Amino acid sequence: MSRTSTVTRQTAETNIEIEIELDGSGETEIATGIGFFDHMLTLLGRHALFNLKIKAAGDLEVDQHHTVEDVGICLGQALQQALGDKKGITRYGSISLPMEESLVTSAVDLGGRAYFVSNVKISTEKIGDFDSQLVHEFWKSVTDNGLFNLHLDYRYGDNSHHIAEAIFKGVARALRIAVRIDRNETGIPSTKGTLS
């Protein structure tokens, strides 16, 4: 069964289209109008091995917040839908990912409940022209709508670009593990019998 999903969202602030294939090869087509964000989303698809298409048009004349947040909402929904009943998934995934001088641990639980914890410290307000606070907003939107736990543990690092990249690559790698079908798992990986 193909684990794919398409999600669209249209508001007065944004117009978002997302397609995701969990069992992909990391092929991406990303166009949000925000260069650094496109770079991070490309890394996400590549390192998760998700085939990912994201097209977003937002009110960038106001700022980047609505676009980034709404892409997060749609990505979370797409991930949740593509997982289906979650039968046979590994469920958990974690990795400590180095990016030059930076190290961030990312841990996920696709258990059906939204929770986001982060102690990440990005020291600059901007990464290029990208508002660095939006890294937090994006992942909170993804977890709230994807209904999973995500914990980001900042270990150390100085360069804001490297820290953000360690987060996106690390979450991608953790998700890659968690969504994987475990051939030894015959049902839902929970004693409750459901992940919702």
CATH code at 13? 3.30.230.40
Q: How many domains does the chain have?
A: 1
156 belongs to a structural domain: yes
Domain enclosing residue 100, as ranges: 4-178
116 belongs to a structural domain: yes
* Three-state secondary-structure class, residue 121: coil
Q: How does strand 28-31 pair with strand 51-58? A: parallel
pLDDT tens, residue by residue, 46-62: 999 999 999 999 999 99
20 belongs to a structural domain: yes
Order across the sheet with 51-58: list the strands: 4-10, 14-21, 51-58, 28-31
pLDDT at 54: 98
Task: Note whether 53 and 24 are within 8 A (CB).
Answer: no
- pLDDT band, very low/low/confident/very high, at 121 (cuts 50, 70, 90): confident
186 belongs to a structural domain: no
Tokens of 24: 């992909």
Mean of pLDDT values over 4-28? 98
pLDDT at 194: 75
149 belongs to a structural domain: yes
Order across the sheet with 102-109: list the strands: 92-99, 102-109, 149-156, 115-118
Of 87-91, 175-179, 182-186, give the lowest mean pLDDT range: 182-186
69 belongs to a structural domain: yes
pLDDT at 22: 98
pLDDT tens, residue by residue, 87-114: 999 999 999 999 999 999 999 999 999 9
The backbone region for 176, taken as left when phi is positive above 0, alpha when psi lies in -120 to 50, beta otherwise, is alpha
Mean of pLDDT values over 9-22? 97
- 188 or 183, which is more confident? 183
pLDDT at 1: 67
Mean of pLDDT values over 37-53? 98
For the chain, give the percent of residues with pLDDT over 90.
91
190 belongs to a structural domain: no
192 belongs to a structural domain: no
pLDDT at 141: 98
Alpha carbons 15 and 37: distance in angstroms, whole number: 16
